[in-house]
Amino acid sequence: MGHYIKNDGYIEFAERELREKNRKTVAFYRGVDPVIWTVDTEIINDVFVKHFSSFTSRLKPTGSMGQGKDIREALNVITDPHQWRRVRQTISPSFSNRQLTEMLEIIKDRLDILEEQIDGLEGEATDVGTIAGKFTMDGTLSAAMGIDMNEDLKDLKDFENHPAVRHFYNLMNPGPSMFFYVMIPGLGLLADEQLLIDKKSAKNAQRGLTETEIISQIFVIFVAGYETTKTLLQTAFYHLAKDQKLQQEVLKEVRGLDEHYDNLNPKKMPLTCAVLHECLRLFPPVGIHLRWCEADTMVNGIPMTRGASIEVPVDLLHTMEEYWGEDAHEFNPYRFIEDPELEKAPFFLPFGAGPRNCIGLRFANIEARLAIQRLVSNYEVSLPEGFVPDIKLIRLPSFFMDFSKEIKLHFKRR
């Protein structure tokens, strides 16, 4: 994947064709591989949902996203349909309502600790990525995996220098201390659930994971959950700091609301959810959705041949004027309140689409909503003097998106 995003020639060509020539689909060759870039909602629906059985994988069977050998069986990169179904079915119950309600209690504890650490900063302007990153890492590790790393990650200022965090940034080839911190306790927990199966029985099993698969899933949940939710929270705090009136309205909505699972939804906190949706629209943490065609299929009248890669550039899809109106490029959370159906629109896909969409969607939503509720209730968030709020989205040499510069914010206790 890295080589692809870095190779500006393809990207620039496809973007130009879609954006400037106002097309919805463009086909080209990347080397010998046919590629289709599309923001056409009918084609997206056909590929991601209707004809899913011909497009179960993101990559061709021999493909790689640059992952190291230890995470080659992670859910997001598995190419064998049977293996993917078994692994997904095995992990899915971990994100049920009951599990999420339990996880919420753990996330609340992590927020208590985060508050103490923010108070320790004594109002000093701080990179919001550090605050969001610390909380997300702590939240994902403790709630999703039952690992408490708080003692290790105690100091917010030093957070990014911790060996485990540094290794995270090189996760595709994790180093030995990452194994120590993350894999060993997590492996034990999953194995305790009696999900462990051997390689031979995996071929026919409907449920269960081999040891390599367990290690891979621990990594993918950590990677997928960390970077994405961190980006979402960074974007949200930046916009709330930039627009104090909006922050006051969110404060009015969330202050005093019980921190309960049943309250973390658009009915109970419409503006908070709308702000987060708008952040996901304009700053989608995952920049491209991929599917690989494994059997010749007619899609919306277009013949797709085995081997074609279908790719959806999410930032383009989320800013098409035809779908979003003239203010497509402006930050306007109220659009999701005026039209609550937008949340389910086929052109709003921050978590992907179809059976292979994001497995952590609901976990990410409750984690982010609770973090906004707690921190906005207790802190006034503002931009430091002289900070020019001109943040833009940039594509990283991976699936993830990033910001054009560091976002420093003040968190002052109310």
- Cβ-in-10-Å burial (0-12, 13-18, 19+) of 220 comes to buried
- Of residues 125 and 323, the one with the C-beta less far from ligand HEM: 323
- Of residues 362 and 408, the one with the C-beta less far from ligand HEM: 362
Least gap, CB of 353 to ligand HEM (angstroms): 5
End-to-end CA distance of the chain, in Å? 44
Q: Which two tokens stand for residue 174?
A: 């994790």
Least gap, CB of 145 to ligand HEM (angstroms): 9
Distance of CA 278 to the CA centre of its chain: 14
Least gap, CB of 228 to ligand HEM (angstroms): 3
CA distance 117 to 119: 5
- Of residues 187 and 387, the one with the C-beta less far from ligand HEM: 187
Least gap, CB of 245 to ligand HEM (angstroms): 25
- Cβ-in-10-Å burial (0-12, 13-18, 19+) of 328 comes to middle
Least gap, CB of 175 to ligand HEM (angstroms): 22
Q: Are 317 and 38 in contact (CB under 8 A)?
A: no
- Of residues 324 and 354, the one with the C-beta less far from ligand HEM: 354
In this structure, the number of other CB atoms found within 10 A of the CB of residue 409 comes to 21
Q: Which residue has the tokens 């870095």?
A: 6
Q: Which of 347, 299, 286 is nearest to 55 (CA)?
A: 299
Whole-angstrom Cα Rg for the chain? 21
- Of residues 48 and 387, the one with the C-beta less far from ligand HEM: 48
Least gap, CB of 398 to ligand HEM (angstroms): 13
> Following DSSP, what letter does each residue of 136-201 receive, concatenated?
HHHHIIIIIH----TTTT--TTTGGGSHHHHHHTTTTS--HHHIIIIIHHHHHHHHHTT-B--HHH
Contacting positions for ligand HEM (CB under 6 A): 75-76, 88, 140, 144, 220-221, 224-225, 228-229, 232, 285-286, 289, 350-353, 356-360, 363-364
- Of residues 336 and 387, the one with the C-beta less far from ligand HEM: 336
- Of residues 333 and 350, the one with the C-beta less far from ligand HEM: 350
Least gap, CB of 220 to ligand HEM (angstroms): 5
